[in-house]
């Protein structure tokens, strides 16, 4: 069964550094999402992406964040200048219209 | 925007008993309601979902009910097993690439 994959599984970075989190959505899906989950808390929506543009974003998704689909398979989340409070698990998800969202295994980001 | 509440926050049941988790939502435009199971350190996994044109859906030991008038939906797990122990999240939104809002989660413990 096809799955969403994410790399790396764990990323440690220093405050102020840029990080890029990578996702490979399920190949025939058209909608892509990023979510964040701070340890022990609920899953929070960051952004959705369709047809090569952002279709929706939350208030968390400020100017420090950007997303890109650089080629036909990858979907990336970039954080330009990381802050301590960006430490969280970041999940990518993908879906088709009229279908459910399937989550990747997540990237644990630790900002020191 | 959408606001999703979930109760209870923790639930302990004896193996073989039923478990019920309830969610309410605020945006009457929401039309898609998935439930995710998240085991410790793992990705949220879709276990069942329901759309607003359906009042009830069942898949083996899991069922979901939806009351659009009252804006609440519930997850029912029958004949619980220890492997059902996890955090369960409800969510509400429009499945067409829009913002999903998750509930705060319910930690279910099934005691042998």
pLDDT at A97: 74
How many whole angstroms separate alpha carbon B59 and alpha carbon A20?
38
Residue A1 is predicted with a pLDDT of 79
Q: Specify the 3-state DSSP secondary structure of A6.
A: strand
Q: Are A91 and B44 inside 8 Å of each other by CB?
A: yes
Question: What's the pLDDT at A98?
Answer: 66
Q: Report the residue from B36, B43, B96 with minimal CB separation from A104.
A: B43
- Do B101 and A45 lie within an 8 Å CB cutoff? yes
Calpha distance B111→B107 (Å, rounded): 13
CB contact under 8 A, A100 and B103: no
Task: Compute the C-alpha angle B92/A101/A90, nearest 5°.
Answer: 95
Query: What residues of chain A lie within 8 A of the CB of B38, using their CB?
Result: 43
Cα distance between residue A56 and residue A34, in whole Å: 11
**Residue B95 pLDDT:** 61
When scoring A26, A34, A41, A43 by the number of chain B Cβ atoms within 10 A, the one with the most, hence best to mutate, is A43
- Contact of A33 with chain B, judged by CB distance below 8 Å, is answered with yes
For the stretch A64-106, pLDDT in tens is: 999 999 887 899 999 999 999 999 999 999 988 767 889 999 9
Assess whether the previous peptide bond of A8 is cis (omega < 30° from 0). Answer: yes
Contacts of B21 (CB under 8 A, 6+ apart): B6, B7, B8, B11, B74, B75, B88, B90, B106, B108
Q: By the 8 A CB rule, do A92 and A32 touch?
A: yes
Q: What is the pLDDT of residue A23?
A: 98
Is residue B100 a contact partner of residue B2, using CB atoms and an 8 Å limit?
no
Q: What does the pLDDT look like over A32-49, one tens digit per residue?
A: 999 999 988 889 999 999
- Residues of chain B contacting residue A33, judged by C-beta atoms under 8 Å apart: 100
A98 and B95: CB-CB below 8 Å? yes
- Decide if B45 and A103 are in contact by the 8 Å CB cutoff: yes
Q: What are phi and psi of B83, to 5 degrees?
A: -75, -5
The average pLDDT across A14-38 equals 95
A8, HSE (Cβ side, Cα atoms, 13 Å): 9
Tell me, what's the pLDDT at B42? 86
Best B21, B87, B100 member to test A by mutation, with max A CBs in 10 Å, is B100
Q: What is the pLDDT along chain B (112 residues), one digit of tens a residue?
A: 789 999 999 999 999 999 999 999 999 889 889 999 999 888 899 999 998 888 999 999 999 999 999 999 999 999 999 999 999 999 998 765 456 789 999 999 999 8
Chain A residues in contact with B91 (beta carbon < 8 A):
43
The minimal CB distance from B99 to the residues A56, A102, A104 is found for A56
């Amino acid at each position: 069964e096809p799955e969403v994959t994410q790399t790396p599984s764990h990323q440690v970075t220093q405050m102020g550094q840029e990080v890029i989190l990578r996702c490979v959505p399920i190949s025939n899906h058209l909608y892509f999402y990023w979510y964040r989950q701070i340890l022990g808390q609920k899953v929070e929506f960051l952004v959705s992406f369709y047809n090569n543009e952002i279709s929706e974003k939350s208030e968390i998704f400020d100017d420090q964040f950007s997303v890109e689909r650089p080629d036909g398979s990858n979907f990336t989340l970039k954080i330009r200048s990381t802050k301590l409070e960006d430490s969280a698990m970041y999940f990518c998800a993908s879906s088709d219209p009229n279908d459910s969202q399937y989550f990747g295994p997540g990237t644990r980001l630790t900002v020191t | 925007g959408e606001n999703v509440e979930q109760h209870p926050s923790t639930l302990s049941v004896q193996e073989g008993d039923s478990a019920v988790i309830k969610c309410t939502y605020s945006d009457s435009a929401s039309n898609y309601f998935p439930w995710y199971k998240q085991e410790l350190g793992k990705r949220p996994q879709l276990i069942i979902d329901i759309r607003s044109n359906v009042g009830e859906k069942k898949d083996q030991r899991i069922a979901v009910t939806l009351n659009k008038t009252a804006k609440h939906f519930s997850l029912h797990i029958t004949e619980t097993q220890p492997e059902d122990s996890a955090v369960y999240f409800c969510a509400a939104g429009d499945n067409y690439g829009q913002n999903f809002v998750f509930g705060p989660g319910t930690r279910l413990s099934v005691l042998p």
